Amino acid sequence: MNKWTRRTVIATGGLVGGGLALGVAGIAFAPNRLRVTPDNREGTPQLTTWVKIGADNTVSVIIPHCEMGTGVHTALAMMCAEELDADWNLVRIEEAPGTDDYANGYLVRTFVPVVAAVPKYMERGIDFWTFKLTQMMDLQVTGGSSAVRGTGHLGMRLAGAGAKAMLVEAAAKQWNVPVAECTAKLSKVTHAGSGRTATYGELAPQAALLKPPVHPQLKSRDDYTIVGKPTPRIDIPSKVNGSATYGVDVALPEMLYATIAASPVFGAKLVSVDTAPAEALPGVKKVVKLDNAVAVVADGYWRALKGVRALAPKFEDTGKGAETSDTIYAAIGAALDGEKSDKLHSAGKGAGALQGAAKVVEAEYRVPFLAHATMEPMNATARIADGKCEVWTGTQDPLSARKTASEASGLKPEQVTIHNQQLGGGFGRRLPGVMDYIDQAVRIAKETSPAPVKLIWSREEDIQHDFYRPAVVGRFKAALADGGQPAAWVSKFNIKDAAALLPYAIEHQDIRAVEAPTHVRIGAWRSVAHTQHGFFTESFVDELAHAAGKDPLQYRRDLLAHAPRHLAVLDKAAEMAGWSTPPAAGRGRGIALVESFGSIVAEVAEVEIVDGRVKVHRVCAAVDCGDVINPDTATAQVEGGIVFGLSAAMFNEVTIDGGRVAQSNFHDLPMPKLADAPSISVEFIRSGAALGGLGEPGVPPVAPAIANAVFALTGKRVRSLPVRV
Amino acid sequence: MQITLDVNGESRTADVDEDTPLLWALRESLGLTGTKFGCGVAQCGACTVHVNGSAVRSCSVPAAAMQGQKITTIEGLAPKEQPHKLQAAWVAHQVPQCGYCQSGMIMAAAALLARNPKPSDAEIDAEVTNICRCGTYERVRRAIHAVAQGPTEGGAP
């Protein structure tokens, strides 16, 4: 096992009860996070946690995140290489293994404000203890649009700068000259006075023996040569010739194949199944009964699938078999009608400000459950042999996958190895807490041991056993002042999330949440609660603007005098879309603004009604995420976010019937295709504010921008999704 | 049953059931995993290959029925050292995100261009109906047009 190397000062005894014990000693004497490197690092010298430099002068940046298409491997390597002053042509990436050394403490620092920006003297302690905390929680997560602003900004830059300082120090020592006289550039250290140079590869063995600095000097933004320039993604060439491998492509000697049918009604356990019809089929090796599912193992996927289809498993009656979308919405409605609610935010006189108001506007909005439907269906390959469990899969958190496999196999985490693969889409479906496919694969592998088994879900299983974006109802009331501006804003939902808070200056506010749990499994869907709240808030503001007889852009502007970044983004999107000139005849425009994951995004959609359906011709997006690391990839993330948002706005609806999901494949859960994709323009405002995320923030403004455009065109207000006219 | 398939210019044998889809014969019997499983019902196009030059969704045709036909998968679209123009354009325009659907997307586009070297937007829409969850559509369109209009920067002829 790996251990802490060169750990000299303090043992890891400061953790109490899973919390952070940040005493003075913990802050001042915590080990340096940059020094956490595996013990058994023979061969290539490792300078800091994430940097290895080979004798051939190649730099390997060890990336503790998965690649699911967001370009994070490339962006993080760029951030590290920039500070390292490496020659980009010599930079390689390696995905970090799912081991404790690569737990993602920066996730905590990204989402917990109190540890986000701390005084310099506390950095080392905060870095180390957040790292230990995420280690204990098995978090090595790629999610929450956090990789660049967390791991990249707080970790990779320092790892690069630290490694550079070590290389320069090694050169200075070797040449017996002052450190200050040596400079690093393009993977070489030079001493100008004597004209001596050495490559990083030559210096690395000595540099690796030095102590990494705690506060290495970071470069000025003006001196960047890599970050901020469009850089081709490292993973793309393998994705155009079929050579990229995903979890579903894993092949092992003696491997068997399995597919599965879990209880269609969530939460029901398997009661019985006659295994004979499957066992009688050619190639079927075994029928495996799990707690709430039955799996068939065969010598190929097709034969396993035929086996599963031959079975008629009986699942217990949990009393949920009569639930439908209607009963669920009725239950949500009853909860919203009830007296009990939790306050998310209040200001001024709260709901009291509605009383006696001259004009009150009310609306109720609704969004359905949604499936992730990643193009690569859920799958995992597991092998249990020789007291070890190995799992090959694509996951957004290998540490959590390790924990899942450990629990399912009964083996200790250190007996489990996760071989993470590229992900054929994540969007939240491959996060911690929702790894049922890994649990199942390991349990099936116990039955096939020592032979490995690849579990592949059918698309039907994938759509019917997702962890869905919650169905949410939002109720809104606003009082308009004489000038038409909102004086009071009162809202209530069945989802408790800060995404309900407003960017707008409104004096009296009362924002509440109720609980209305259902038996449907729910999870994080790209941009999480911002997709629902973005639609609700931005639709309702639009309704208020129209009720006040004001232009929706100007109405928002008047409420954002305190928020110059929001204003700039709004103005930029409006300018891109030509807001000041009317759209062509038969077309309508709508605007929406949502801040999420640290980034502010405004989008303008232009729509037309074609053959009784809404056609979205164009979406213009303005984005302030502080700064941009890899501009073309950043643009691609917003483009993709817009199409993902389009799927929710116009196409997808998961409904419940008979307690189970009614949809089963892309014929009844249709997705936008090329013909449906709007023309998209994206511009970034480089405000220099703290970095925001980009994987998700493009999504939330899409639906309200489209809905508002439909209203502008037809006068019909869209209050539920998907949009139907 | 033992079948013989002509795949990427080679004669290959596979042991399959009568109804085993071509997709699974390619992926599991022949190890050609560039062709992807997405839906199993010819809805998404991730499994698109060429049969005698036409785009076919391999999840929904039996492998046994493909004997004697000329099958091309993404691995055989072009030699690695001399990629197909579309593959070069896909890199130049940085099309893929997760990349899972892109083998099928490229195969669909290649079949279209082989028949119609300068397709209109409407023709592209009608012929390339593959699903991409990452939403790379605009770049897909841009890359197809780039190839249709002439040499791509950095691309092989």
CA-derived radius of gyration, chain A: 27
For residue B119, the enclosing domain spans 85-149
* Option in A69, A300, A665 nearest B97 (CB): A69
In a domain, B92, yes or no: yes
Q: Which CATH class is domain A24-238?
A: alpha beta
Which pLDDT belongs to residue A121?
Answer: 80
Q: Residue B95 maps to which CATH number?
A: 1.10.150.120
Cα A588 to Cα A611: distance, rounded to the nearest angstrom? 16
* Chain A residues touching residue B19 (CB < 8 angstroms): 302
For residues B69 and B6, state if they share a domain. Answer: yes
* Chain B residues touching residue A671 (CB < 8 angstroms): 44, 131, 133
* Chain B residues touching residue A675 (CB < 8 angstroms): 125-126, 129
For residues B59 and B110, state if they share a domain. Answer: no
pLDDT, one tens digit per residue, over A683-716 is 999 999 999 999 999 999 999 999 999 999 999 9
For residues B11 and B71, state if they share a domain. Answer: yes
- For chain B, the domain total comes to 2
pLDDT, one tens digit per residue, over B102-127 is 999 999 999 999 999 999 999 999 99
Contact by Cβ (8 Å): A719, A365:
yes
Out of B51, B76, B101, a domain closes at: B76
Q: Are strands B70-72 and B54-57 parallel, antiparallel or unpaired?
A: unpaired
Cα A169 to Cα A191: distance, rounded to the nearest angstrom? 12
Model pTM greater than 0.90? yes
Distance from the Cα of A109 to chain B's closest Cα (Å) equals 27
For residues B91 and B69, state if they share a domain. Answer: no
For residues B70 and B89, state if they share a domain. Answer: no
* Option in A306, A376, A666 nearest B43 (CB): A666
* Mean pLDDT score, A111-134: 82
Give percent of chain A with pLDDT exceeding 90: 84
For residues B59 and B91, state if they share a domain. Answer: no
What three-state secondary structure class fits A163? helix
Out of B59, B76, B93, a domain closes at: B76
Torsion angle in degrees (nearest 10) through CA of A122, A126, A127, A128: 110
Distance from the Cα of B87 to chain A's closest Cα (Å) equals 6
Cα A686 to Cα A511: distance, rounded to the nearest angstrom? 32
For residues B66 and B101, state if they share a domain. Answer: no
Cα B135 to Cα A683: distance, rounded to the nearest angstrom? 18
State residue A300 phi and psi, 5-degree precision: -165, 160
Distance from the Cα of B74 to chain A's closest Cα (Å) equals 6
Cα A429 to Cα B16: distance, rounded to the nearest angstrom? 33
Cα A452 to Cα A455: distance, rounded to the nearest angstrom? 10
Among the residue ranges A10-14, A159-163, B55-59, the one predicted with the least confidence is A10-14
* Mean pLDDT score, A51-64: 94
Q: How confident is the model at residue A111 (pLDDT cuts 50, 70, 90)?
A: confident
B21, exposed or middle or buried, with CB in 10 Å at 0-12, 13-18, 19+? buried
Contact by Cβ (8 Å): A39, A69:
no
Cα B15 to Cα B17: distance, rounded to the nearest angstrom? 7
Angle at A448 between CA A446 and CA A451, to 5 degrees: 110
Q: Which position has the higher pLDDT, B117 or B150?
A: B117
CA distances from A22 to A7, A15, A122, A126, A662 (A): 18, 9, 10, 8, 50
- Crossing angle of helices A702-714 and A530-547, in 10° steps, is 30
* Cα nearest neighbour of B79 on chain A: A241
Distance from the Cα of A458 to chain B's closest Cα (Å) equals 7
* Chain B residues touching residue A233 (CB < 8 angstroms): 94
* Chain A residues touching residue B31 (CB < 8 angstroms): 251
For residues B92 and B27, state if they share a domain. Answer: no
* Option in B44, B103, B130 nearest A242 (CB): B103
- pLDDT tops 50 at residue A604: yes
pLDDT, one tens digit per residue, over A511-568 is 999 999 999 999 999 999 999 999 999 999 999 999 999 999 999 999 999 999 999 9
In a domain, B156, yes or no: no
In a domain, B129, yes or no: yes
- pLDDT tops 60 at residue A11: no
How large is the ipTM? 0.96
Q: How confident is the model at residue A37 (pLDDT cuts 50, 70, 90)?
A: low
Domain with CATH 3.30.365.10 in chain A: 24-238, 247-317+378-456, 327-369+468-714
CA distances from A387 to A58, A410, A417, A660, B13 (A): 37, 10, 12, 39, 37
Q: Residue B68 maps to which CATH number?
A: 3.10.20.30
Cα B54 to Cα A142: distance, rounded to the nearest angstrom? 39
DSSP string of A331-360, one letter each residue: HHHHHHHSS--EEEEEETTGGGGGTT-SEE
Which CATH number describes the domain made up of A327-369+468-714? 3.30.365.10
| Fold assignment, A247-317+378-456 | Aldehyde Oxidoreductase; domain 4 (3.30.365)
Torsion angle in degrees (nearest 10) through CA of A79, A83, A84, A88: 50
For residues B10 and B55, state if they share a domain. Answer: yes
Out of B22, B51, B76, a domain closes at: B76
Give percent of chain A with pLDDT exceeding 70: 95
Best residue of A241, A246, A256 to probe chain B, by most B CBs closer than 10 Å: A241
Q: How confident is the model at residue A29 (pLDDT cuts 50, 70, 90)?
A: low
Q: Sheet holding A91-95: strands in order across?
A: A46-48, A51-53, A59-63, A91-95
For residues B58 and B124, state if they share a domain. Answer: no
In a domain, B128, yes or no: yes
- pLDDT tops 50 at residue A6: no
pLDDT, one tens digit per residue, over B16-71 is 999 999 999 999 999 999 999 999 999 999 999 999 999 999 999 999 999 999 99
* Chain A residues touching residue B17 (CB < 8 angstroms): 282-283, 302-303, 306
For residue A87, count other CB atoms closer than 10 A to its CB. 18
Contact by Cβ (8 Å): B130, B48:
yes
For residues B51 and B89, state if they share a domain. Answer: no
Are the beta carbons of B40 and A458 separated by less than 8 Å? yes
For residues B92 and B124, state if they share a domain. Answer: yes
Q: How confident is the model at residue A131 (pLDDT cuts 50, 70, 90)?
A: confident
- pLDDT tops 90 at residue A601: yes
